Structure 1
Amino acid sequence: MTDAVVFEVSRGRLLLIGLVLGPLMTGAGVLILTAALNPAAVQWLAPASPLVWLLYLVIGGVGTAFFGFATVVGWLTLLRKPGAGLVVDADGFTDTSSGIAAGRTTWDQVTGWHLQHVQRQVNLCVMVQDPDSVLARMGPIKRLMSRGNVKLVGTPVCIGLTNLRGGPEPVLAAFEEYHGQWLSRNSGAGER
């Protein structure tokens, strides 16, 4: 492999998520918030106690804000993004496959990687020498969400392979090949 390998994002899956799940979850948040603020409008969901009312208010407000924001940002990202979600080359890789993608990571930062299966999602978790430096170059919302990845899998660099065309095998092959080439050029400066 001498040139960069480009893995495109499957737009059909993203459109399904953006058209169905985002608006559905935002609508659920609005419904719960409406039940808290105007119980007469949604009598079947009216809170039965002040504690339930407070719970509705918090869940409805946070759910509406989070899923509404994620839906709008997701659509804007999808509309302006070129087809490449992951580009692997001789110096590293660039991940732009999701809203919390880490961007550019060079091979000298990589200490290893592993697959993480969560329900039907397959993620390539790339271990890096300094997770804090990766987090520092992200915006505040990306950073907050990526800190969750650090707690769950030990790294902020998690590439969702389910949304990439071709599946995990070609991505793993490209990582093995290019990282191996980098190690050869740099006389074993890092280990897999």
Structure 2
Amino acid sequence: MVRDVKDYQGAEIFCLNSGVFRGPRRGSKAPVADGSLSKEPAVDIDKKKTLFMVLLQEYLNMAQDQGGMALTLYLLDSQSSYLDLSEVIDLLPSFWSVELLQQYLLRSLRRSYHEFKEMQIVKGLSLGENLRICEELFQLYETQGPVVITADDICHVCGIAVADSVFMRTVDMKTIHLHCGSSSDSQPLGTTDGPE
């Protein structure tokens, strides 16, 4: 589309549609070219990022008299959310000034800062949730009290002594080996598979 047809807008829409040709539908809106990443599946976002990087490389390979620089700057400004700053910087010519890339750099840095702050909020919420769960666990330990195992205690699943092994307590407060509780075919001691 870029080399043969010179359909630059079509190439950008193709990238926005994750590499799928879609005809216009009645009542449907045209794809928004604002670079918004909200409510998109991760697979689509990754595909769009890859396609936009290919399109950027095509624009950079074009001669300047064919509009290569103008198309590149337009793409960087309009689709900055799909073009990762660390990858783009390596591709750009070294003689391009920071002023040319000012709008793209500002958007990329703002987005990076926003994502950083978002991650800090998520981390803070996770720490708060962790503290709440720990408090509930401590309260549960206080109400249930300690579990005392003697040499006479046996596993309610296999009938072997529980002492000197890793054990767990079931919901009905029975003490069993950890491996007996985790095996799907474990059956409490004294039960049978069917009618006798």
Q: TM-score, normalised by structure 1?
A: 0.22
Higher RCO (CA 8 Å, separation ≥ 6 residues): 1
Structure having the larger proportion of residues in strand: 1
Pick the structure with greater CA Rg.
2
Q: TM-score, normalised by structure 2?
A: 0.22
